[in-house]
Amino acid sequence: MMILPSEGIAESPRHRLTPEFRQATRDDVPLVLKFIENLAEYEKMLEEVTATHELLDYWLFEKKTAEVLFAVIDGQEVGFALFFTNFSTFLGKAGLYLEDVYVPPEHRGQGIGKAVIAELARIAVARGYGRMEWACLDWNEPSIDFFHSIGAAQMSEWTTYRLTGDSLARLSE
């Protein structure tokens, strides 16, 4: 789920900003949830969000199953990425899976989204990961164009499957 490209702000060198980055802490759980809800609203999926402060605290900070990175400019969080480690059996290496990235509309078109993706690439390389992967909604043409512009390859030969809710419970029985 990706929200990156500009909407109404021409990207040019004079509009580019260089954010600092910081990892989320437990105190950021309300902010993490707010970014998730804003992303879901943009994707017209807000009704699917069941995450709570308690769930995020448990899974992000007790279980440590994912990480959250914030892009920060002048002390304000202007971008968000939630990611976790996956594994490629073919490469025999871990990889970075980007679950969500979001830059609010008022901060788009300033290079923040590209800076977030570049920071994640630096993290992946520093950790010795073999690749970085993510999914993007089919209708999100601006993000698809952006991903192509940074050299990302679309995995059109792969189809994503998911088990959740009742289907997951039934199969587990």
Q: What is the CATH number of the domain that holds 25?
A: 3.40.630.30
Q: Residue 115 corresponds to which tokens in the numbers above? A: 């800076």
Q: Residue 127 corresponds to which tokens in the numbers above? A: 């950790």
- Which pLDDT value is given to residue 15? 65
Q: Residue 93 corresponds to which tokens in the numbers above? A: 């290496």
Running DSSP on this structure, what letter comes out for residue 7?
S
- Which pLDDT value is given to residue 5? 45
Q: Residue 133 corresponds to which tokens in the numbers above? A: 């992967």
Domain containing residue 53: 2-172
Amino acid occupying residue 139: W
Mean pLDDT of 102-124: 95
The β-bridge partners of 1 are: none
Q: Tell me the per-residue pLDDT of 3-57, one tens digit each, with 9 for 90 and over.
A: 454 443 334 444 678 999 999 999 999 999 999 999 999 999 999 999 999 999 9
* C-alpha–C-alpha distance, residues 71 and 142, integer Å: 20
Do the Cβ atoms of 95 and 88 come closer than 8 Å?
yes
* C-alpha–C-alpha distance, residues 166 and 173, integer Å: 11
Q: Tell me the per-residue pLDDT of 123-155, one tens digit each, with 9 for 90 and over.
A: 999 999 999 999 999 998 989 999 999 999 999
Indicate the number of domains in the chain.
1
* C-alpha–C-alpha distance, residues 138 and 22, integer Å: 30
- Which pLDDT value is given to residue 111? 93
Which of 110, 80, 104 lies closest to 14, judged by CA?
Answer: 110
